[in-house]
Structure 1
Amino acid sequence: MDIFLITAPGLEGLLADEARERGFSVIETIPGGVTVTGDWPDVWRANLTLRGATRVLARIGEFRAMHLAQLDKRSKKFPWGDVIPQGATVKVEATCRKSKIYHAGAAQQRVEDALKHHGATISKTAEFSVRVRIEDDLVTFSLDTSGESLHKRGHKEAVNKAPMRETLASLFLRGCGYDGNEPVYDPMCGSGTFPIEAAEIARAMDAGRSRRFAFQDLASYDATAFDALRSPPQETVHRFYGTDRDAGAIRMCQANADRAGVTEQTDFQMKPISDITPPCTNKGLIIANPPYGGRIGNKKPLYGLYASLGERLKKEFKGWRVGIITSEQSLAKATGLPFKPVGPVVNHGGIKIRLWQTDTLH
């Protein structure tokens, strides 16, 4: 079956690269995600191992429907019991595009009626989510197999203001060429997302090792087969560093790293930008998600912060390369860093952000 991997628009190419590296058969990349093919164990493996996917949808069926009566009839004939457990609670989301059935609300209601006909209970807070897409009169049913968004790894409880989601962090690391074989340093580390994610990548740890997924309640789930997909953590010689001027942020980082099982590979210290120096002798990647106007508020005071960061990096971090995520071109340029052509626009909670990165600093 087709399996659709959802990601933030702008990062589809990076997720497709990750999926290929992990042995998935990539069929196409479209705005908002990547389509791969496989069977149910591939669905489980995608949820467990892919660091950049936000959700994993299993496309469980499709048919043509030219009007609502046809949608109603064919939805009721659909073998829902083969996929969704008897008596399950389900929510339905529908979209219509370029189709004779153009009213998404009416389409949603017909599919909900079909599910009720098969014994399901409909609820907006349901354990299972069925996505209905009607495009060019083709109705596609997809089942959300993830449950909670996959950025919720299951071990990061403490967060600061406007945190970077783990799924985005992993793809931005990939976009900077990070593959686990060098140190990573975040000089404005907040709750520690980048160093922790980098440490997990270096140790080849399963992204979803600490959480449950919706597919574990499906009829097709085999617990023994799923457990066989889990990978033991690997060793790494590298360490991953974060500094922040706030003592509370450093405590959060340490607690999150402990829950993630990467305490020995991470090092968090309280330090203002004006005092940052290379945390180790090996050169590697500096990556930061500094405050920006749309995320924190007034951006005018931030120009000085960005300028100070750029000056410090140029002076102290020769031999390192830099990646900075921000919503404002003017803030990025305030660093004075020699950025390469900027990356694509990425939607992060309604804010348009981009990755600015340098080659090795000289």
Structure 2
Amino acid sequence: MKHAQTFEIFLIAPPGLEQSLWKEARAKGFPSARYTTGGVTLKGGWEDVWRANLVMRGATRVLVRIGEFRAFHLAQLDKRCRKFDWAKYLRPDVPVRVEAVTNKKSKIYHAGAAKERVERAIAETLSAEISDEAPVTVKLRIDDNLCVFSLDTSGEALHKRGHKAAVGKAPMRETLAALFLGACGYDGQEPVLDPMCGSGTFVLEAAEIAAGMTPGRARSFAFEQLATFDGDAYAMVRATLPAPQRTSLSFHGSDRNAGAIENATANAERAGLSDNCHFRHASISDLQRPEGDPGLVIINPPYGARIGNKKQLFALYATLGTVLSERFSGWRVGIVTTDGQLARSTKLSFLPESAPIDHGGLRVKLFQTDPLP
């Protein structure tokens, strides 16, 4: 295989969910995984990079560290960038974009000037086009005068699975939904219901996990545009992925917005999940317990700062709590919200709160219950 090597791979996690992503990485066969601030690090080669992009449900992106050196001023950065072996990783016929961040501990503190030096070095030594719309991104982080270079091997963020075209207002990203499901202990062995399902993200993620579907099966990645890419070896990696399996479990979503139900139904069909995912136009007060064994109710309800006025939401949460308490004995509940008062207005008995998690510029928490009495 081209350029066989081992390096540091970084899986980006939504802040606050690093441990959930670490657990997933270990479960997906990455034994060297370690969690740290902002994500999970592991050691591996290009086949591990390809597989991580394909199989990791919770990772936002997969980065590869390709080199580092110290630089104390822009001229030194420029000189050392020109000596860097860009051709080992980048193709001259594929446009490149550069992103740079720095901090006050570094002599080079102007990120824009650093970005320009790297762009010029790549353009003049590799003859590659520099473009803000490029499919390949080189990331530079300068911390305490150490310049660390990474490649974004994912391209589009990994929540873009390739089959969810229809979304509504304030959607839950697939990556975040997968990590919340994992944090609730979901492992694909029980039904899942979302009574405020929107475009169906929680329901579809749960169904895909149960069916053993590969999240990246229907999309392409930036690593396919790198000099290190080996199409035959990548085909072999894809061939080793487990085949989807039939499941007898059912997954349910409802929403009071008829347009959301249309979107969710269309998304399920595109994902090949129509047989197992059932969506219904209904309000919370009309929510009915599905037949069969209990499972997990998981909800991303409106919480004021995101949609509408929070003061009008207490009655909604109270109704939700009443319906779940009266009709869902044996089911566990997970509620994602920014506001503990709203969550507690359900009158449900919650386990200790999770750490705050970034979601669309807001700080949310996951409120969970044991099986309801």
Aligning the two structures, in what range does the TM-score lie when normalised by the shorter sequence? over 0.9
Please state if 1:356 is matched with 2:364.
Answer: no
Identity of aligned residues (%): 57
1:249-303 CA-to-partner distances (Å, cap 9, x unmatched) read: 1111111001111111111111211111211221110001011111112111111
In 2: Cα distance, 1:27 partner to 1:241 partner: 33
Corresponding residue SS for 2:64: strand
In 1: Cα distance, 2:35 partner to 2:114 partner: 27
In 1: Cα distance, 2:31 partner to 2:64 partner: 14
Shift of 1:323: 0.1
Structure 1 residue aligned with 2:106? 99
Please state if 1:124 is matched with 2:132.
Answer: yes
Greater alpha carbon shift after TM alignment, 173-182 vs 269-278: 269-278
In 1: Cα distance, 2:218 partner to 2:29 partner: 22
Residues 1-362 of structure 1 aligned to structure 2 (within 5 Å) = 1-97=7-103, 98-117=105-124, 118-230=126-238, 231=241, 232-362=243-373
Checking the alignment, whether the CA contact within 8 Å between 1:96 and 1:103 is kept in structure 2 is yes
1:65-88 CA-to-partner distances (Å, cap 9, x unmatched) read: 222222111111111111111132
Checking the alignment, whether the CA contact within 8 Å between 1:25 and 1:38 is kept in structure 2 is no
Shift of 1:27: 4.8
TM-score (norm 2): 0.95
Gaps of 5+ in 1: none
Checking the alignment, whether the CA contact within 8 Å between 2:136 and 2:225 is kept in structure 1 is no
**What is the Cα-based RMSD across aligned positions, in Å?**
1.2
The aligned amino acid for 2:209 is I
Gaps of 5+ in 2: 1-6
In 1: Cα distance, 2:139 partner to 2:150 partner: 5
Shift of 1:61: 1.0
Shift of 1:96: 1.5
In 2: Cα distance, 1:299 partner to 1:226 partner: 49
TM-score (norm 1): 0.97
Checking the alignment, whether the CA contact within 8 Å between 1:4 and 1:58 is kept in structure 2 is yes
Checking the alignment, whether the CA contact within 8 Å between 2:156 and 2:221 is kept in structure 1 is yes
The aligned amino acid for 1:43 is V
Equivalenced residue count is 362
In 2: Cα distance, 1:280 partner to 1:322 partner: 17
The aligned amino acid for 2:225 is D
1:43-83 CA-to-partner distances (Å, cap 9, x unmatched) read: 11111100000111111111122222221111111111111
Corresponding residue SS for 1:94: strand
1:133-172 CA-to-partner distances (Å, cap 9, x unmatched) read: 1112221110111111110100000111101000000000
Structure 1 residue aligned with 2:3? none
In 1: Cα distance, 2:194 partner to 2:161 partner: 20
1:187-239 CA-to-partner distances (Å, cap 9, x unmatched) read: 11111111110000011111111111111111221223223333321222211
Greater alpha carbon shift after TM alignment, 74-83 vs 60-69: 60-69
Checking the alignment, whether the CA contact within 8 Å between 1:25 and 1:37 is kept in structure 2 is no
Checking the alignment, whether the CA contact within 8 Å between 2:135 and 2:225 is kept in structure 1 is no
Shift of 1:3: 0.7
The aligned amino acid for 1:158 is A
In 2: Cα distance, 1:133 partner to 1:34 partner: 17
Shift of 1:357: 0.5
In 1: Cα distance, 2:72 partner to 2:94 partner: 29
After the TM superposition, which segments of 4 or more aligned residues of structure 1 sit over 6 Å from their partners?
none
Corresponding residue SS for 1:167: helix
In 2: Cα distance, 1:91 partner to 1:56 partner: 16
